Structure 1
C-alpha cells in the first residue's frame, strides 16, 4: 500500500515527524482534501515504556533508537570541553526525550521577534496558540498544599489541545525551601508565569498526562490512533530525506520545491513529489543540513562539498543560539530527599514496580523540578539599575547587531528574566568529552546531592551548524561558540555568585544541605573578593547545554540574517518552508517546548491561509 501511496503526488511533504512536524501534519490533514506525507528518520516509539515513563528519561540518552546524540566542537571558553546535545530520533522528536518542562516566554521576549522585522509575531499574536496546543489540568490538591500555587490563574488555563499539561504531585521540602528562599531574596512569583510577566520562583507545569502519569508528547498528542487512520495522512518512519528536489525550468523566477529524495531503511533511494509545498521540520541542527545538501546555503561551504549552488544564502546554519546552563551540585543532609538514591538497583526496581502496578504511581510518574526567573543578580542580590547599565555599557562595542540591541533591552529591564534557575533533584557529572547525556545524569559519587542550575536566558553569543560532507549520514558540525561574546561569561558568573545566597547555611534551602558537605565543582566557592573570578572558573568547568538550540534558519529580513520570511517561507525558492525551533529569531525565555508547539500551530494556520489563496 505504501508503494502505491508514494507514487501519487502529495499536496504537502513534511520532513521530520518531530515536535513541530506532527503538529503540521495533524492540522493540515483536518481537511480531508489535503494529502500529507511525513518522513521521519526514527521509529514510532509512542508506546515504548522507556519513552512514556517520565522518571526513566535518562535511559533514552545515547541509544541510537532514540537519540541523534550530537556533540559540539571543543569549546575554548569551557576549557576545550565537548558539549553533548541530545536530539530526539523518533516520532515526536525531542518532545519524546526532554525533561517534560512546560514554561512560557515573556511578553518582551516575543515582542522582540516582531521588532526584528517579523510583523505579526508579537506576544499577543502568538498567545492564542499557547492555548491551542494544550489541555491544562487543575493542579492536584497535594501540589497546592506543598507549594501554594497561589499565582496559578485558572482563567489562563483554557484550551483543549492535544498535549496534556499538569502540575505533578510529589513535591517535597526541597521545593518548599526553594520557593521560600527566593522569596526572601525579593523573588516571589506574584503572577502566573504564562501571562508573559513573571519573575520569581515557582513550580512549573509538565507535559505529563495526569490520568496515566505518562509523557504527553507530539507522537501521543498529535498522532493519535484516530489521526493515524486518516486516509489522507501517510507517515514513513526509519526513512531519511537526503535532499529536497527543485524544478528550475518552470519559467518561474525562482526554483520551485517539487518533492524530496528519500533513503529507506533498506537503502533504497527514491523521489516523492509534492504538489504544493515541502515543509522542513528537521530541527535546528538538521534543517540547515538538509537545506545545504539541497543547494541552499553559503556558496563556499557548498562548493567545498561539491554541491551545486541553487540559492546562495550565507545565513543558513548561522546565528545558532543555545541556553548555557551551569550545574553546581551540593551534598544534602541525611534527611533531605535526593534522586541519587536511584543508584541502588533495589530502590529503582521497587519504584518501577510501583509505577507499573499502580497506574503510574510514585516518583517515576512525576517531574518535581522547580524554577526561578530573575533579572540580573549577583552576590549582592538583585543588581541595581545603575550597576546593570554600567556593566552593559562596558561591553557596548560587542552589542552592535540588531539581535544584541534587543537582548540588551531585555537584560536592562527590571521586568525581564535574565536568568532561569533550576532545582534539579540529583547530582550532575561533567565529563570533558561525554559520550551522551546520560553520563551527566547517572550518579558517579557515593554521596547524595541536589543541583542548582544557572541558565542564561538571552545569550549574546552566536554559533553555527554546517554540513561535514555531502552525505546525509554524516552528522553536521555544531559549534555553539559559547561565551564567544565575553558578556555572556560575565552574566553567567554573576548568576553563579548569586547561587551562594541561595545555598547559604542561614537560608531555608541552605539548611537542607549537609554542613561542611561536598560540592561540585570541588573546592570552588564564589564568595569574597575573588568570587567573580572563581565563578568564571565554575562556568568554565560546569557549563553544558540545556537542549534549547535554535535560530539556525532564522525568521527575519534576508538582508538582516534571515533564512525564512515572516510566513516561514525560505528565501530564494518557492514551495518550501521551515517550521521548527531553527526559525526563532531570538531564543525564548526558559524551556522552549511550548514555543515550538505554538509556532507550529501558527505555521499550520499560515499554510492553510496560503492554500485558500491559491484556490
Structure 2
C-alpha cells in the first residue's frame, strides 16, 4: 500500500484531540474517564457500537443470556473449524457497545490467582507482579464484603457475592466441602482455592461495568468526546510516530489526530487486526495482503489464549431451577416480580451462582480447574432453558497450554479476521480436561448434591473411558469467552508491547486491553482488563502526556 494512502484521504473530515482512545471496552472506558479528570487534557473515545446507556437487558444481570441469543451488541466472531473439536467452528461473542464485553458478559468478577500476575512478571512483563498490580485492582472497585487490604472501598466498579443462591448452588457448595474443599472467604483475596458463592460486578441489583460506572458519569465533561458507531479503518503515521486513526463514521470517513498519544483498546481480536491493517505485523503475511510493512512484528496476532470448558448438564428434581420458572405457570412473572421488589431471585444472577477452584491432577501446586455452578441448563442459548428441571456446572481449565492466532482475512477492515483458537492442541490440555470431567463426577456424587440429581445429561452415563470422555469433549466443549494475549507484553523480540504498554518500533502508540496479557489469568479476565485500563491511565499521567 503506498505510503500516501496510509496518511491522507481527501474525503475524510479532520478532528483533533490530545489523547485518542480507540475502543470503549472495559479498559478503554477506564482510560478515557481517568485522563479526562484533568480538564486541561482533551480526550476523544472512538467506539464501533452504540452507547446503550439504558438498555434493560444490559443492566439486568440475567439479561446476558438474552443478549447472547439475540446477537445484539455482538461482533459475531467465529473461529475457523477447530481441528481439536471435530472441525466445529465456535461462536466468539465480543461486545460491540460502550462498555465492550464487560457490558454483555455473565458478570463473573474474579481476578484469578496472585501467582498469575507474578507469572506475568516472570515471563517478561516487568513491573506487573501481584504486588505491582494490586493497588490498581483496589483503585477500580468498591467491595461490599468483609473489609480487606486486598479489596477496594471507593472505586467505580461495585463487586459483591451473589445475594441469592439456589438450593442447587448450596448443594454444590456443600458437596465440594464434603470433598475437603474449604469455604473461601474472598475469591479475590490472597488465596482463591476452595468453594463459595460467586462474586459478581453488581450495584443495587444492576450490572456494574466500566461504560456505566466510569464513563457515564464523565460523559458531560467538556474535554471528553464520546464518539460511538465509528469503526477503525487503520492507524495513521508520520514516519514512525502514530498520529491518529482513520475512522468510518455515520457520515463517512473521519480522520482523528492525536497531539499527544493514541491508545489502542480494540481487544484481543480487534487490536491485532487493526495493527496488521496499519502495517504492523508479520512482514511476509502483510505482503501477501498487499499491505506495506511499517514495523515487522511477527508476534502480533500470536499467543492467542482462551479458557476451554465442558458443561456437566443434569436433569434434577424440582429445586427452583431457572428451567422451572421459565416453563412453569406464571414462572417468568414470579421472577420479574421478585427482581422488581428487592433485586433478588434468578434475574439478579449472572452466568453462575457458585464457584470452585480445585487441584485435579496429582502433585498440582495450585488449582488447575475451575468449576462454575449454573442454575439452569441449555442445549443452546438460542433455544433458552431446557423444558425440565436442570442445572449444570462447567469444568474449565485454568491455564491452558494450547495457543492460537489471529490473522487478516483480507486488507478490507470490514472483513472479520481469521481466528484459530487451537483448542486441545496441547496433550496436557486434553489430559486435564478428561480428568476435570472425572473430578466433576466425584463432586456430583457427594451428598447433598447427589440427592438432587436424577440423570447426567452430558457427557452422559455411557461415556466412561478416557477415550470416550475426550471424544465427547471434542464434540461438545467450548469457550469460556476469555480470549487474550495477541499483542503481549514482554522483553523478548516476539513481544509486540513493552512493560509500559508502548508498542515497540513506533512512537505515540500504546495498547491497553486483554491483548497485552502475556498469560491468561486462572479465572475470568474482566477485572484484569479493568486493571490494565487503570495502569495505562497512570502511565500516561506520570509521563505528562
Residues 385-534 of structure 1 mapped to structure 2, 5 A cutoff: 385=363, 412-413=364-365, 416-429=366-379, 438-439=381-382, 442-443=384-385, 445-504=386-445, 506-514=446-454, 517-526=455-464, 530=465, 532-534=466-468
Q: 1:191 to 1:207 in 2, by over 3 A?
A: closer
2:324 aligned counterpart, secondary structure: helix
**The one of 194, 212, 216 aligned to 1:200:** 194
CA distance in 2 between partners of 1:508 and 1:261 (Å): 59
- SS class of match (2:357): strand
Match of 2:324 among 337, 341, 346: 341
Kindly state the Cα deviation for residue 460 of structure 1 after the two structures are TM-superposed.
Answer: 0.3
5+ long unaligned stretches in structure 2? 1-12
Report the CA distance shift for 1:571/1:85 in structure 2 as closer, same or farther (over 3 A): same
| SS in structure 1 of the partner of residue 435 of structure 2 | helix
What pairs up with 1:318-397 in 2 under 5 angstroms?
318-334=302-318, 336-344=319-327, 347=330, 349-351=332-334, 353-354=336-337, 357-358=340-341, 360-367=343-350, 369-377=353-361, 383=362, 385=363
Give per-residue Cα distances to partners, 1:354-378, cap 9 Å, x unaligned.
167436354212345210001234x
Q: CA deviation at 1:351?
A: 4.1
RMSD: 1.9
User: What SS does the aligned partner of 1:588 have?
Assistant: coil
1:600 to partner: Cα distance: 1.1
Q: What is the SS of the residue equivalent to 1:235? A: strand
Deviations 1:14-49 (A, max 9, x none): 110111100000011111111110000000112111
State whether residues 339 and 345 of structure 2, in contact with CA within 8 Å, keep that contact through their aligned partners in structure 1. no
Per the alignment, residue 172 of structure 2 pairs with 178
Per the alignment, residue 84 of structure 1 pairs with: 91
User: Deviation per CA, 1:236-265, whole angstroms, max 9, x where unpaired?
Assistant: 0001111100001xxxxxx00001101012
Q: 1:326 to 1:356 in 2, by over 3 A?
A: closer
Q: Is structure 2 residue 505 aligned with structure 1 residue 572?
A: yes
Find the residue that maps to 1:127 and give its secondary structure.
helix
Q: Distance in 2 between matches of 1:106 and 1:190?
A: 13
Q: Compared with structure 1, are the counterparts of its residues 219 and 523 closer, same or farther at alpha carbon in structure 2 (3 Å cutoff)?
A: same
Partner residue of 2:474?
540
Q: What TM-score do you get using the length of structure 1 for normalisation? A: 0.83
Instruction: Flag the 1:197–1:286 CA change in 2: closer, same or farther, 3 A.
Output: same
Normalization by structure 2: what TM-score? 0.93
2:102 pairs with 1:161: no
1:601 matched to 2:517? The reply is no
Query: Structure 1 residues 330 and 466, CA, compared in 2 at 3 Å: closer, same or farther?
Result: same
String of CA shifts for 1:410-468, please: whole Å, max 9, x gaps.
xx42xx221111111111326xxxxxxx33x723x432211121110100000001111
Deviation at 1:342, TM superposition (A): 4.5
2:41 corresponds, among 34, 42, 45, to 34
- The SS at the match of 1:222 is helix
Q: In structure 2, which of residues 254, 269, 277 is the aligned counterpart of residue 293 of structure 1?
A: 277
Runs of 5+ consecutive residues of structure 1 not aligned to the other structure: 1-5, 139-151, 249-254, 378-382, 386-411, 431-437
Residue 270 (str. 1) matches residue 254 (str. 2):
yes
- In the other structure, the counterpart of 1:590 is 523
Tell me the number of residue pairs that the alignment of Structure 1 and Structure 2 aligns. 532
- 2 CA distance for matches of 1:159 and 1:610? 27
Partners of 2:187 and 2:69 lie apart in 1 by 33
